[in-house]
Every structure is written in C-alpha cells, then in structure tokens.
Amino acid sequence: MAEPKIAQRQPFVMQVDPGVYFWCACGRSSNQPYCDGSHKGTGLAPRKVEIEEAQTIAWCGCKHSGNAPYCDGTHKQL
C-alpha cells in the first residue's frame, strides 16, 4: 500500500451540510478534502462520512491523523 501524500500541513476547516461525503485518504485528489478518484491503484481508499446536521468540520489535510478523517493535530509533528 502506498503512503498517503500530504495535501497540506493544516486542516481543511469548512462548513458542511447534511449528506454523505468521501474524504480523500491518499492526498492526491485535486478536490481536497474530498475524493476525486485519484487513489486508484494506490491501495488507499477514501473514507465515507455521513453528516447528520450542518456543522463546521476540520478535515485532516495531512492524511496522517489518528482520528481520520478529522484533524487531531498530527500535522504539527510531520
């Protein structure tokens, strides 16, 4: 399995509406923090997230969070 690429060394903080989202786990998507299919052939797969109510989310941008798909501050040690 490939190592995820660091998309950015800070979270993607954004307001999200209820719905289903696919968080990019490989770091290769051009539609960060969401999957665009760029992971194909890497052995990595996006994480499906179901949001029940509108909220602000800090999506992991470094792709190394221990609490993926959410930021846990791991980017500070990379």
Q: What band does 2 get if pLDDT is binned at 50, 70 and 90?
A: confident
Examine residue 33 and say whether the peptide bond preceding it is cis (omega within 30 degrees of 0): yes
**Whole-prediction pTM:** 0.94
The answer, yes or no, to whether residue 76 has pLDDT greater than 90, is yes
* SS (HEC) of 31-55: CCCECCCCCCCCCCCCEEEEECCCE
Q: pLDDT tens digits, residue range 59-73? A: 999 999 999 999 999
Residue tagged 């846990």 (tokens): 72
Residues 6+ apart with CB under 8 A from 13: 56, 57, 58, 59
Q: pLDDT tens digits, residue range 24-44? A: 999 999 999 999 999 999 999
State the maximum Cα–Cα separation within the chain, in Å, rounded to a whole number.
34
Residues 13-29 have a mean pLDDT of 98
